[in-house]
């Protein structure tokens, strides 16, 4: 049984392939097009999935699109008939184009892959059902409370459910424009961060401030008695004008979401060129505090409905790793699973899983703790790239590489680390990473000068060998996808300053020997030499999607002042 899942004509377009219930490939289209959060058709991603499995489009039994234009049709209509007439016209035009794009997906595939009579059956799975499925079916749990928290998708902004075996039963959902994601995005813009996906900057800035505006911001977003929340659109642009725009360049953009009422409430907004002041830091802290309160309220109420203390969580808001790290301490939940692609790229995987398990009753498979489902390259392919580029390199055995790289890190070097299959999801997890020694107090300056040039308040993350988590963190849990932030033990702050944020926390990745053997061995070699089972890990990119090919990794190395590049067993060094 072969199922191809797609997130298409939506931000973070992606494709995923299930064969007999097993995820054999999943990748974001942005990795190929090199356009961040690509919103078009994931043609390259489909090509990769088929190639990885050694199959053709003809072999696909089910084509699943993680969108359902018929979902909440009545609610959509009753919302839009209230819109001013000039907006209605634009709305129906946009809907028409989008519906046409969705309806022609099979035709585009058939033409591209020269497959005029495919065997697949087509399914449309609602956006939030797909999010729930992406969190539940790959989890280790047979029974769980399910929650999707998001900006919006298929006219919902949140959805709750119960997962039992093969079944997902929906409990409730929230309609657009009542959205936590919209709240967070609007305040992200208020703070002068204007790009789609900039919300993590607010999360990084928050620990520098105090939540002194929490009460004021609780007028904009607040918990409600029905177990959900209310976003007061008095402070926002008219929801009828839409909250995300798509362009011919396939880059999503957000129009200005807040209005003058928010400025009256909080004070002046920050222009992107303006300095970040204590006021902005306090606003960021307050945004994060309000968001966390609402999330904990929803999850607590969900528990009271389900009486199941295991939570599977997905959606754009589930990318808030700071909130995620506090869920178990602030709600009755005892266990939490969040997939590597909890954001919209995970829709392709969730839609495919939903079809396999819920519709076709396919057997559930072992849980997924690995995000390595993207492209990989052999040493021969890498050598060919290096020869073509006339680059001098050494080819070394694994053990020699661990030795050489750990020495380079200890002497303060910045190392590009490219190995195995690329990660599915926004985090580099030791497949496409840039590494440094976490003990250095100057690591942030070095990285920002040599490569990243990003805002100085943003933290860098630690990858830690699973066995040592309790020694360094106040909470012991598996965090395979860097999806949670935990407090670092106080006495360790001075030992690993490069990965300790200003509030003493770290967005950790726990590295398991079976899931990431090469990365594990490298960190372990570093531990043998320094006593520290941790490396600083940041994504292998420079203001672009994470590198996907050896050529892109090499280009990034040559463009920046990285000291060493490891491409599988090939090592390049600056002399």
Q: Number of helices (H) and strands (E), helices first, in the chain?
A: 19, 24
Identity of the residue, 148 or 560, whose beta carbon is nearer to Fe ion in the bound complex: 148
Residue 101 CB, nearest distance to Fe ion (Å)? Answer: 17
The C-alpha atoms of residue 204 and residue 121 are separated, in whole angstroms, by: 44
Identity of the residue, 126 or 437, whose beta carbon is nearer to Fe ion in the bound complex: 126
Residue 352 CB, nearest distance to Fe ion (Å)? Answer: 16
Interaction site with Fe ion (CB under 5 A) = 150, 153, 344
Identity of the residue, 150 or 423, whose beta carbon is nearer to Fe ion in the bound complex: 150
Residue 353 CB, nearest distance to Fe ion (Å)? Answer: 15
Task: Cite the beta strand spans of 103-185 per DSSP E.
Answer: 121-124, 143-153, 156-164, 167-175
Residue 561 CB, nearest distance to Fe ion (Å)? Answer: 37
- CA distances 144 to 149, 166, 311, Å, are 16, 12, 6
Q: What is the 3-state secondary structure (H, E, C) of 29-51?
A: CHHHHCCCCCCCCCHHHHHHHHH
Residue 344 CB, nearest distance to Fe ion (Å)? Answer: 4
Q: Which residues pair with 537 in a beta bridge?
A: 435, 461
Identity of the residue, 7 or 539, whose beta carbon is nearer to Fe ion in the bound complex: 7
Identity of the residue, 76 or 270, whose beta carbon is nearer to Fe ion in the bound complex: 76
Residue nearest to Fe ion (CB): 150
Q: Regarding beta strands 62-65 and 121-124, do their DSSP bridges make them parallel or antiparallel, or are they unpaired?
A: parallel
Task: Cite the beta strand spans of 335-460 per DSSP E.
Answer: 335-337, 394-395, 415-418, 432-436
Place of tokens 């926390």: 505
* Phi then psi dihedrals of residue 175, to 5 deg: -90, 150
The C-alpha atoms of residue 423 and residue 428 are separated, in whole angstroms, by: 6
Residue 5 CB, nearest distance to Fe ion (Å)? Answer: 14
Identity of the residue, 344 or 437, whose beta carbon is nearer to Fe ion in the bound complex: 344
Query: Is the distance from CB of 575 to CB of 416 less than 8 angstroms?
Result: no
Residue 27 CB, nearest distance to Fe ion (Å)? Answer: 18
- The DSSP annotation for 136-156 comes to HTTSS-SEEEEEEEEEEETTE
Residue 317 CB, nearest distance to Fe ion (Å)? Answer: 9
Who's near 351: CB < 8 A, 6+ residues apart? 5, 6, 7, 64, 65, 66, 123, 125, 130, 133
Identity of the residue, 150 or 282, whose beta carbon is nearer to Fe ion in the bound complex: 150
Identity of the residue, 181 or 550, whose beta carbon is nearer to Fe ion in the bound complex: 181
For residue 92, the tally of other CB atoms under 10 A from its CB is 12
Residue 575 CB, nearest distance to Fe ion (Å)? Answer: 47
End-to-end CA gap in the chain:
52
Identity of the residue, 180 or 566, whose beta carbon is nearer to Fe ion in the bound complex: 180
Tokens for 542, please give them: 């420079």
- H helix or E strand, kind and range, residue 206: none
CA torsion sign for 511, 517, 522, 524 is: positive
Diameter of the chain measured on Cα atoms: 69
Identity of the residue, 153 or 550, whose beta carbon is nearer to Fe ion in the bound complex: 153
Residue 300 CB, nearest distance to Fe ion (Å)? Answer: 23
């Amino acid at each position: 049984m072969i199922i191809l899942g797609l997130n298409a004509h939506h931000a973070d377009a992606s494709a995923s392939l299930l064969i007999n219930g097993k995820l054999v490939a999943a990748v974001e289209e942005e990795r190929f097009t090199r356009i961040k959060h690509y919103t078009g058709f994931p043609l390259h991603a489909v090509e990769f999935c088929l190639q990885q499995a050694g199959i053709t489009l003809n072999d696909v039994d089910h084509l699943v699109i993680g969108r359902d234009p018929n979902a909440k049709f009545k609610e959509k209509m009753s919302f839009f008939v209230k819109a001013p007439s000039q907006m209605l016209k634009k709305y129906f035009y946009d809907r028409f184009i989008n519906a046409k794009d969705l309806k022609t997906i099979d035709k585009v595939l058939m033409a591209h892959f020269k497959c005029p009579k495919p065997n697949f059956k087509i399914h449309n799975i609602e956006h939030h059902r797909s999010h729930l499925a992406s969190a539940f079916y790959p989890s280790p749990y047979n029974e769980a409370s399910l929650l999707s928290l998001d900006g919006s998708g298929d006219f919902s902004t949140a959805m709750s459910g119960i997962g039992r075996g093969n079944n997902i039963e929906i409990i409730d959902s929230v309609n657009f424009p009542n959205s936590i994601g919209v709240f967070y995005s609007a305040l992200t813009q208020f703070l002068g961060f204007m790009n789609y996906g900039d919300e993590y900057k607010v999360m990084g800035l928050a620990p520098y401030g105090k939540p002194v505006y929490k009460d004021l911001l609780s007028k904009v977003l607040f918990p409600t008695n029905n177990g959900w929340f209310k976003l007061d659109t008095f402070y926002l642009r008219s929801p009828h004008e839409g909250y995300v725009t798509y362009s011919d360049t396939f880059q999503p953009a957000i129009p200005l979401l807040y209005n003058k009422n928010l400025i009256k409430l909080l004070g002046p907004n920050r222009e992107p060129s303006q300095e970040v002041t204590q006021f902005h830091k306090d606003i960021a802290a307050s945004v994060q505090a309000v968001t966390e309160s609402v999330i904990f309220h929803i999850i607590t109420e969900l528990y009271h409905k389900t009486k199941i203390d295991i939570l599977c969580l997905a959606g754009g808001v589930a990318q808030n790793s700071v909130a995620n790290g506090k869920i178990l301490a602030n709600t009755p939940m005892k266990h939490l699973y969040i997939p590597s692609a909890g954001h919209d790229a995970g829709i392709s995987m969730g839609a495919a899983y939903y079809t396999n398990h819920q519709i076709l009753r396919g057997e559930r498979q072992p849980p997924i703790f690995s995000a390595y489902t993207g492209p990989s390259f052999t040493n021969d392919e890498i050598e060919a790239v290096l020869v073509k580029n006339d680059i001098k390199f050494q080819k070394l055995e694994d053990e020699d590489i661990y030795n050489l790289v750990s020495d380079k890190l200890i002497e303060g070097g910045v190392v590009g680390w490219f190995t195995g299959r690329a990660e599915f999801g926004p985090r580099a997890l030791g497949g496409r990473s840039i590494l440094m020694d976490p003990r250095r107090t100057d690591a942030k300056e070095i990285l920002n000068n040599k490569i990243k040039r990003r805002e100085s308040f943003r933290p860098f993350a630690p990858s830690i060998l699973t066995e040592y988590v309790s020694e360094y963190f106040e909470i012991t849990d598996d965090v395979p996808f860097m999806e949670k932030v935990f407090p670092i033990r106080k006495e360790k702050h001075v030992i690993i300053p490069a990965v300790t944020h200003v509030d003493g926390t770290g967005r950790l990745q726990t590295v398991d020997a079976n899931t990431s053997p090469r990365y594990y061995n490298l960190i372990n070699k570093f531990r043998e030499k320094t006593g520290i089972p941790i490396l600083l890990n940041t994504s292998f990119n420079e203001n672009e999607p994470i590198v996907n090919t050896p050529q892109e990794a090499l280009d990034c190395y040559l463009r920046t002042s990285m000291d060493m590049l490891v491409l599988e067993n090939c090592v390049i060094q600056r002399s």
